[in-house]
Structure 1
Amino acid sequence: AYPHEHKIFSLQELQDATDFFSNNNVLVDLFDSKLYKGRLQDGSLVVVHMDCPTADWSRRTRQFQTQVEMPVHRNLVRLHGFCITPTKRFLVYPYMSNGSVASCLRERPPSQAPLDWQTRLRIALGSARGLSYLHDHCDPKIIHRDIRAVNIFLNEDFEALVGNFCLAKLEDDMDTDDRTAVRGVVGHIAPEYLSAGILSEKTDVYGYGIMLLELITGKRALYHDGRARDEDIFLLDWVKRLLKEKKLKMLVDPDLRNNYIHVEVKSLIKVALICTQVSPVKRPKMVEVVRMLEGGDGLAQRWEVWWKIEVVRQEVPLTSSFSLSAPNSFANNTSLCGLGTPSAPPLHPPPPYNPGRSSRTGAISGGVAAGAALLFNIPAIGFAWWRRRKPQEYFPVVPGVHLGQLKRFSLRELQVATKTFNNKNILGTGGFSKVYKGRLADGSLVAVKRLKEQRTPGGELQFQTEVEMISMALHRNLLRLRGFCMTPTERLLVYPYMANGSVASRLRERPPSEPPLDWQTRRRIAAGSARGLSYLHDHCNPKIIHRDVKAANILLDEDFEAVFGDFGLAKPMDYKDTHVTTAVHGTIGHIAPEYLSTGILSEKTDVFGYGIMLLELITGKRAFDLALLARGEGVMPLDWVKRLIKEEKLEKLIDPDLQNKYIDAEVESLIQVALLCTQGSPLERPKMAAVVRMLDEGDGLAERWKEWQKIEIVQQDVELGLYQNGWTVDSTENLHAVELSGPR
């Protein structure tokens, strides 16, 4: 039932998988841990990382916790499961048959084809997206601290997955620029971190730039050129010198055999050098790097600055950039690897590599890669165990190991919190569940979602779906699961209480004493909810279609940041698929026409719902309220909005609660985005990633709006033509999502 369920393995299972941890199955033997290749009972290949006790056991415990709690993204390696015993801890990962980027570049057998140029470009973009997610979409943000080719893994499709989170650090554990013990591999560590211990997300950006140079040249960050016996050449300095001498051909990996596009190579080198500037302030954020790689946005301007400053002033000496490092950075620091630290254990040696189906040696290396949101998959594990009628606790209690903030609540705890599920504490009622406000013993407020007592197959399915979907997705604009409770008769999910309610309640149900949502807050809600949807569509693997995007399902935290909730109707979809055909679910007025009429579901279904939600945000009205206004004038709702725009009667669209406190141009732009999202043809709607760019910077909005005016207004498309037989207005304030049909 759970394709991405994380399993708690028994020690016996891992012993069987690895032939009792036979030396024949060792992939990597590290200072304080070993990696074994194993085969589970179902035949699947895994890598088992065994963490052994050391003098630094407390730090290793924190590292273990960090790895277990890592979030999920299609470009991060996922955790398959774990095992904890009193003396050892084990993490289990999928076995990557194509190894790491480093092994494919430098350790492939002659019979194996090298990475071609287009694959290398995909690797550059995929790893950038993974890092951008860690920095810009996780809360708290996560600094990897060990970005290099050996820690970028390749799945069966040669998609890049960032792995090995042994050294990862959460922003909660540091200030913006934290002075901390230097850890990493020499040649890949940013100058400010190596010399002064100053750590920030720009530390990862520097490591990413060095990794790009590895990808382009096929060389290590520090390498011998065959002539200087006692001196390593620093790859970054070598690239700068050859670029200055216009010897581009000498930079490119000979394995490519001139099968590449020169302008693309130049662009990637430029991105690498921009990322490896000495000053962290001058390095771009990873989200900017992604834009440079996707469409070249900002690359020309940044390169011009780099050329003027970095080359002209030569901030980095061409002989050795490590002259910037304090000598004692290396002294007795066992966390550093590489030349200059002969006594340091090799924390992350390159993996053995033997690609192909006949591969017998390792593909995963360099420690471990955590890509799992295990703390959100624990409910899925509990639910699966309940289905098999396993009454015992699934979750070992081990001193010193705390798996995030997720908790398994007892039924008694939740009864006390909600005053025995008192009706006075009901926050909302859905088709299959009720949500109660509660106060836990520690004083914190929660929202408890309780499956109705008269359970139906639909309710069980919705509960299972919500657990599964929320365990696969972690983003600052998605609601987090705090805990759960399951008994033979009860299914309960516990979420943080959102003091500011939903967007719908703030628009239409606020008491007179509370101020309305101001215009800037509404813009932030539009941008935040777009980012959350973009993550579900573009950064989850499989992608997740929410299927019920509306103002009632967007919640507001204490800072009025938008947080997507209610994943009961969400559906996973392979990222390679463009659509699936399924039973129609959703809320009338928010469902895309192609889904309602044919059952064809795609990410563009959510885009349509998002566009309707934007109109709710702008007008303060429900979709049905818009319908009633439109019917009074004999037209469909979206046509009514279009006509008012064409007639320049903007004021008739805008929520009166704003009291004219808004910027006309911004309102007009947001309406334009809403209408682009609600076009009749799903092919003409933008992807959510494009919507985010329109809202953040206006990218592409003018061009798309011009095209919309040519097509939509001239042809007078009726986006909601499926409702031509009339609308049915529900008497409740917030309509619940309902199943509209069986499978089609």
Structure 2
Amino acid sequence: MAASGNSSGGGLLPELTQRTPILGLKLYLIILFFIVILVSTLLIFFICIMKRRMRMRVKHSSGTIPLVSKEESEMKSGEKERRRRRKSEEEKEKIGWGRRYSLKEVEEATRGFEEGNVIGKGGYGIVYRGILHDASVVAVKNLLNNNKGQAEKEFKGEVEAIGKVRHKHLVGLVGYCAEGAQRMLVYEYIDNGTLEQWLHGDVGPVSPLTWDIRMKVAVGIAKGLAYLHEGLEPKVVHRDVKSSNILLDKKWNAKVSDFGLAKLLGSEKSYVTTRVMGTFGYVSPEYASTGMLNEGSDVYSFGILLMELITGRSPIDYSRPPAEMNLVNWFKGMVASRRGDELVDPLIEIKPSPRSLKRALLVCLRCIDLDVIKRPKMGQIVHMLEADDFPYRSKHRTIEIDHVPSHAAVSIKVPYPARHVEPSSWR
């Protein structure tokens, strides 16, 4: 048994050293050769895989092939779609109501509504200068909130009226804030003050507002109001047209602001009946007595504003002699007495030509006609102010000047526009 065990145990080495029919090689050499072949194959396969992964990483870094799974790709695609929809919704919101700002954002922009940032005060709110996070400068109107329901109503009316309005002679709405009881509007910032400041402030012995600049301002205001009346549906009646609501930029371009009192008037309506609101001296007689409001009320207010531009006087001035306190009555009396050249603001260094002055005086008289039906449309007024030959057209009618002494009463021939004025002429 012992001999048999030794024979079987030691028989493996002779077998490995035996020569095989393959080139007479020994068995262990053939086995060793196959082992080397196998290891080499595995090594080459491993190197190929590593090189492939390296190529994929390079391509991924260059943006050609994303090294992500299908699930990850779908997740990223879904996120992109959500962002696209969110951006689209934001753009739609901007087109209509403007951006909605939080109270914190507005407070930061105005430095906590700092007194030094106040740029205007009125019966409907305080206006602050503000700087947003993107460094853009804005005007923030904080609506007064003594009566919360009324404040909300004014806020809603103002935003609805101007949210979608875009015109170079109307102050643009950037956004709004409606948080808790706070109601604020964020406007584009116009950097040259109000018309009221330039007409009635301390500007020195000579007004920077030359006659040509004043007529440019008048045309700009008329174009802005014409767009509200004739370029929108429903039309917008401002009902608080006055010099403090006209902003001026560095190039003296006028922009109509403050739509807190605006009313929407559909095409099927000729007027709306509403609580009388506005500023004393600018409100039309029929609106003050009946509460019936239409675009003719804005035309009357524009006529007063044009008188203000011509004379440099406020609509009501109790510091003047009794006969001159009311601008309209004094203005009519001076025209009736053929003293129109004396109406021109003495702070205007270079006086207007008789032709230009006559045109402006006649427009004023047509705008304040007591018969609202006879007042021109704002689009027509734009043409009247811009047309050099306006005072000499062939078609005339008579304007009666009332509220002047009987011995001074006269009739003035005032021409109608010769043609219908298309909106493109006042945009």
TM-score, length of structure 2 as denominator length: 0.69
* Gapped regions of structure 2 (runs ≥ 5): 1-80, 405-427
Distance 1:453 1:409, change over 3 A: same
* C-alpha contact 2:125 2:143 (8 A) present in aligned 1: yes
CA distance in 1, matches of 2:269, 2:108: 46
Amino acid at match of 2:345: D
Q: What's the counterpart of residue 538 of structure 1?
A: 230
C-alpha separation in 2, matches of 1:706 and 1:91: 54
Q: Is the 8 A contact 1:630 1:637 kept in 2?
A: no
- Show the counterpart of 1:558: 250
Residue 320 of structure 2 corresponds to residue 621 of structure 1 = no
Q: Is the Cα contact below 8 Å between 1:546 and 1:567 reproduced in 2?
A: yes
Name which of 302, 317, 322 aligns with 1:631.
322
Whether the aligned pair in 2 keeps the contact of 1:472 and 1:540 (CA below 8 Å) is no
Distance verdict in 2 for CA 1:672–1:696, change over 3 Å: same
**Residues 488-522 of structure 1 deviation map (CA, whole Å, 9 limit, x = unaligned):** 13222111221111111111124549952111111
For residues 35-114 of structure 1, what are the structure 2 equivalents within 5 Å? 85=82
1:522 matches 2:208: no
Deviations 1:615-665 (A, max 9, x none): 11111111012x7657336x9642321232233323431111112343332
Which letter does structure 2 place at the counterpart of 1:697?
A
Matched, 1:712 2:400: yes
CA distance in 1, matches of 2:378, 2:105: 40
Residue matched to 2:291: 599
Contact 1:619–1:653, Cα closer than 8 Å, also in 2: yes
Distance 1:415 1:705, change over 3 A: farther
Contact 2:210–2:350 (8 Å) recurs in 1: no
8 A Cα contact 1:507 1:516, kept in partner: no
Residue of structure 2 equivalent to 1:648: 338
Q: Which letter maps to 1:569?
A: L
Q: Secondary structure at the match of 2:347?
A: helix
Aligned to 1:377: 96
In structure 2, the residue matched to 1:470 is 162
Question: Cα gap change, 1:510/1:437 in structure 2, threshold over 3 Å: closer, same or farther?
Answer: farther
Q: 1:568 to 1:595 in 2, by over 3 A?
A: same
Aligned equivalents of 1:689, 1:555: Cα separation in 2: 21
Change (3 A) 1:449 1:577: same
* Deviation string, structure 1 residues 681-734 (Cα, Å, up to 9, x no partner): 101110111101111215765459942xx3413xx368xxxxxxxxxxxxxxxx
What are the within-5 Å matches in structure 2 for residues 196-211 of structure 1?
A: none
Find the residue that maps to 2:357 and give its secondary structure: helix
Task: Report the alpha carbon displacement of residue 582 of structure 1 after superposing the two structures with TM.
Answer: 1.8
Q: Alpha-carbon deviations, 1:280-317, whole Å to 9, x = none?
A: xxxxxxxxxxxxxxxxxxxxxxxxxxxxxxxxxxxxxx
Residue pair 2:205, 2:347 contacting (<8 A) in 1 also: no
- Measured in 2, the distance between the counterparts of 1:687 and 1:704 equals 20
Deviation at 1:555, TM superposition (A): 0.8
Partners of 1:675 and 1:488 in 2: CA distance = 47
Q: Which runs of 5+ in 1 are unaligned?
A: 1-83, 93-371, 379-405, 719-744
Contact 2:93 2:99 in 1 (8 A): no
The code of the aligned residue for 1:484 comes to Y
Equivalenced residues, count: 323
Q: Which residue of 1 aligns with 2:194?
A: 502
Alignment partner, residue 447 of structure 1: 139
Question: Closer, same or farther in 2 for the Cα pair 1:704/1:597, shift >3 Å?
Answer: farther
CA pair 601-87 structure 1, distance change in 2 beyond 3 A: closer
User: What's the counterpart of residue 261 of structure 2?
Assistant: 569
What is the alpha-carbon distance in structure 1 between the residues aligned to residue 265 and residue 304 of structure 2? 23
Cα displacement string for residues 661-680 of structure 1 (whole angstroms, at most 9, x for unaligned residues):
43332122112101110011
Distance 1:377 1:670 in 2: 37
Query: Equivalent residue of 1:469, what SS?
Result: helix
> Secondary structure of the residue that 2:259 maps to in structure 1?
coil
* Residue aligning to 1:690: 380
- Whether the 8 Å contact between 1:482 and 1:494 is mirrored in structure 2 is yes
In 2, the alpha carbon distance for the partners of 1:87 and 1:426 equals: 39
C-alpha separation between the residues in 2 aligned to 1:87 and 1:704? 61
Q: CA deviation at 1:88?
A: 6.9
Question: Separation in 1 of the partners of 2:181 and 2:297?
Answer: 35
How far apart, CA to CA, are the structure 2 residues paired with 1:445 and 1:622?
31
Over 3 Å counting, the alpha-carbon distance change for 1:91 and 1:571 in structure 2 is same
What residue number does 2:128 align with? 436
CA separation in 2, counterparts of 1:639 and 1:547?
Answer: 22
- Superposition RMSD on alpha carbons, in Å? 2.9
How far off its partner does 1:428 sit?
1.7
Q: Which amino acid aligns with 1:533?
A: L
Aligned residue identity for 2:400: E
Task: Find the counterpart in structure 2 of residue 491 from structure 1.
Answer: 183
Q: CA deviation at 1:463?
A: 1.2
State the match for 1:590 in structure 2: 282
Partner residue, 2:355: 665
User: Residue deviations 1:396-438, cap 9 Å, x none?
Assistant: xxxxxxxxxx433332332222221112221222223111122
Describe the superposition over 1:542-588 as per-residue Cα deviations: whole angstroms up to 9, x where unpaired.
01110011111111123211111000110001123222222211111
**Sequence identity (%):** 37
Confirm or deny that 1:676 pairs with 2:366.
yes
Q: CA deviation at 1:592?
A: 0.7
Paired residue secondary structure (1:427):
strand
1:458 equivalent in alignment to 2:150: yes
Note the 1:291-306 alignment, pairs <5 A.
none
Query: Deviation per CA, 1:20-57, whole angstroms, max 9, x where unpaired?
Result: xxxxxxxxxxxxxxxxxxxxxxxxxxxxxxxxxxxxxx
- Check the 8 A contact 1:427/1:437 in 2, yes or no: yes
Change in 2 beyond 3 A, CA 1:700/1:517: closer
The answer to whether the 8 Å contact 2:358/2:391 transfers is: no
Alignment of 1:122-521 (within 5 A): 375-378=94-97, 406-512=98-204, 516-521=208-213
Measure the CA separation in 2 of the matches of 1:459 and 1:511: 35
Aligned to 1:43: none
Residue 287 of structure 1: aligned partner: none
Relative to total residues, which structure has the larger helix share, 1 or 2?
2
1:463-483 Cα shifts (integer Å, max 9, x gaps) = 111111011422111110112
Distance 1:453 1:683, change over 3 A: closer
In the alignment, the residues of structure 1 paired with residue 259 and residue 115 of structure 2 have an alpha-carbon distance, to the nearest angstrom, of 24
Over 3 Å counting, the alpha-carbon distance change for 1:616 and 1:704 in structure 2 is farther
Return the alpha-carbon distance in structure 2 between the equivalents of residues 623 and 420 of structure 1: 36
- Say which SS state the counterpart of residue 415 (structure 1) adopts: helix
> Residue 163 of structure 2 aligns to a residue in which SS?
helix
What residue identity is the alignment partner of 2:165?
A: A
Question: Cα gap change, 1:681/1:601 in structure 2, threshold over 3 Å: closer, same or farther?
Answer: same
Shift in Å at residue 442 of structure 1? 3.8
**Maintained 8 Å contact 1:673/1:701:** no
Could you tell me the TM-score, scaled by structure 1's length? Answer: 0.41
Q: Which amino acid aligns with 1:377?
A: G
What whole-Å deviation, never above 9, does each CA across 1:578-602 have from its counterpart, x for those lacking one?
2222221111111111111111111
